[in-house]
Amino acid sequence: MDEENIRKRKESQNGSTSNNVDSQTKDKQPAKATVLQKDVGLLSGICLIVGTMIGSGIFISPKAVLLYSGAVGPCLLIWAACGVLATMGALCYAELGTMITKSGGEYSYLSEAFGSLVAYLYSWTTVMVLKPSSLAIITLSFAEYASTPFYPGCTPPVVVTKCLAAAAIFLIVMVNCLSVKLANYVQNVFTLAKLFIILIIVVAGMVMLAQGNTENLSNAFEGSSTSVGTIGLAFYNGLWAYDGWNQLNFITEELKDPFRNLPLAIIIGIPLVSVCYVLVNVAYFTVLSPTELLLSPAVAVTFGDRVLYPLSWIVPLFVVFSTFGSANGSCFTAGRLAYVSGREGHMVKILSYISLKRYTPAPALIFNGILASIYIIPSDINTLINYFSFAQWGFYGLTALALIVMRYTRKELHRPVKVPIFMAGLMVLVSCYLVLAPIIDKPELEYLYCTIFIVSGLFLYYPFVHRKVNWARKIMRPITMHLQLLMEVVPPEKT
């Protein structure tokens, strides 16, 4: 009996010892480094580009290009030419992104080529105004189309659209804070949804074309504009519809195999968007005359009412999906810019911290969401951002110039992708035109105010970034500590 008890006791001791060894082995397994993880593959990269570029513009109001080009033929040619220009610009970014494999897009490239000051002015303008206001505008568009069915025959109340936009911002920020994979999944699903509705519109247009509806496409160049200025404005509006081709460069550090997937996603994604834009416009012209298209408040909805009835309701539904997907992509990349600029000391340090459990840049995402929620309050937010838009093309031009400069100043850098230098030169010229064209065409004081805002960043740069005054650090240290404990975030590990 005693021997049996001793044997049982030994077995239990051996079992507990083996359990301890197992637990110790588990404890010794290496934990993930506290950095943003490489969770974005090729498909997610393509969906981020396509999903962010295709917003509500191609469905609602592609008429500005037609207005300035004057006829159907030049309009379609300009849409195609804008796609070529966007592809060339993105290929320049592919060279930069595979040469400097840091997240943050233009911020990282401007810093390498021109130094800290230019990069700071870019981050100051983009983090504080351009990115959050873009999210605000997209979610307001989403809210308007989501609430319209509940108010038949009238415009939804402003309070309703603004509250719905704020709810959308909250939901998108929450999704992006919870998981990078979840945010990618949402982006992929909504990108497929908008490609599905584009396919329906294109197929419906081809059917109408096969039935002989070619009146609007015959004599397509009759009445074409011959003014260089108006053709330039048509290009200006067309290129705005293609904006978003640089989105993947904001998340280079999170790309799996960026040397392969970054250029490949660009080569697949942007031509795909270009083909979609041209074919959708051809489909519109099979049903709508140029006059009808110019008078339509929402072109895709009018097209659906004429061709897809009684299933025309799917068009505004998928416009809602499209805008939500674009807002998700905008939020995803905006958080990375704030994260990188905080890491480099150009924004408060807390923005560079990462969620300990989720491995997402939660503080940067929340900060962008708060600013976007503030920007939905004013009634004239679209007007304000139109004046700031010229600055975006100024930074595009500087980034293309950075590529040219680094060909001579940073020859030692490895370039897996190397584009002909004339592409970068052409992008500099196009950007200069797009910066100067609206100001020369219609000079207004608001452009001066926007320039003053950009330059005003210097008043913060000198004491807080260049001099790093001690009293600012003393103030921020306890604030950073309490926010860190509240959000459960930590500084990123150096890799």
Place of tokens 């797009």: 434
Q: What is the pLDDT of residue 232?
A: 75
Cα–Cα distance between 39 and 256 in angstroms, integer? 7
| Structure confidence at residue 495 (pLDDT) | 64
Domain ranges of the chain: 42-490
According to the model, what pLDDT value does residue 31 have?
Answer: 57
pLDDT at 450 over 80: yes
* 12 to 21, 25, 158, 159, 403: CA distances (angstroms): 14, 20, 71, 68, 68
More confident residue, 272 or 63: 272
Could you give the 3-state DSSP secondary structure of residue 40? strand
Task: Give the angle 245-163-367 at the CA atoms, nearest 5°.
Answer: 55
Q: Which two tokens stand for residue 424?
A: 């970068």
Query: How far is 291 from 306, CA to CA, in rounded Å?
Result: 16
pLDDT range class, residue 381, cuts 50, 70, 90 = low
pLDDT higher at 144 or 186: 186
Question: What is the model's pLDDT at position 23?
Answer: 44
Flag whether pLDDT at 88 surpasses 70.
yes
C-alpha–C-alpha distance, residues 203 and 21, integer Å:
64
Residue whose tokens read 């072109």: 299
Burial class (CB in 10 A: 0-12, 13-18, 19+), 211: exposed
Does 3 have pLDDT greater than 60?
no
Please tell me the least confidently modeled range out of 217-231, 273-287, 442-456, 460-474: 217-231
Q: Average pLDDT for residues 417-421, to the nearest whole number?
A: 93
Q: Which of 28-42, 66-80, 278-292, 355-369 has the highest mean pLDDT?
A: 355-369
- Specify the pLDDT at position 366: 96
The pLDDT of residue 25: 42
Tell whether the model's pLDDT for residue 121 goes beyond 90: yes
Q: Calculate the average pLDDT of the chain.
A: 86
The CA-atom distances, in angstroms, between 442 and each of 176, 391, 436 are 40, 16, 10
Q: 27-36: b or e for each residue (b if 16 or more CB lie within 10 Å)?
A: eeeeeeebeb
Burial of 327 (0-12, 13-18, 19+ CB in 10 A): buried
Task: Compute CA 405 distance to the chain's CA centroid, rounded to the nearest angstrom.
Answer: 26
Residue 166: per-residue pLDDT: 95
Using the 8-state DSSP alphabet, how is residue 494 labeled?
P
Token look-up 């108010």 returns 151
Does 398 have pLDDT greater than 90?
Answer: yes
Taking the CA atoms of 159, 167, 335 and 185 in sequence, report the sign of the dihedral they define: negative
The fold adopted by the segment(s) 42-490 is Amino acid/polyamine transporter I (1.20.1740)
What pLDDT is attached to residue 155?
80
pLDDT bin (cut points 50, 70, 90) of residue 26 is: very low
User: What DSSP letter does each residue of 379-442 carry, written as one string?
Assistant: TTHHHHHHHHHHHHHHHHHHHHHHHHHHHHH-TTS--SS---HHHHHHHHHHHHHHHHHHHHHS
* 446 vs 176, higher pLDDT: 176
Q: What is the pLDDT of residue 99?
A: 95
Instruction: List the structure tokens of 344.
Output: 């480099």
What would the mean pLDDT of 111-117 be, rounded to a whole number? 94
49-58, 70-79, 218-227, 459-468 — most confident range: 459-468
Mean pLDDT value across residues 147-160: 85
* Cβ-contact 307, 204 below 8 angstroms: yes
pLDDT, position 297: 74
pLDDT at 7 over 60: no
As a whole number of angstroms, the distance between CA 256 and CA 37 comes to 9
For the segment 199-253, what is each residue's pLDDT rounded down to a tens digit?
999 999 999 888 888 887 887 777 777 676 677 778 877 887 888 889 999 999 9
Q: How far apart are CA 83 and CA 69, in angstroms?
A: 16
Assign 182 a pLDDT band (cuts: 50, 70, 90).
Answer: very high
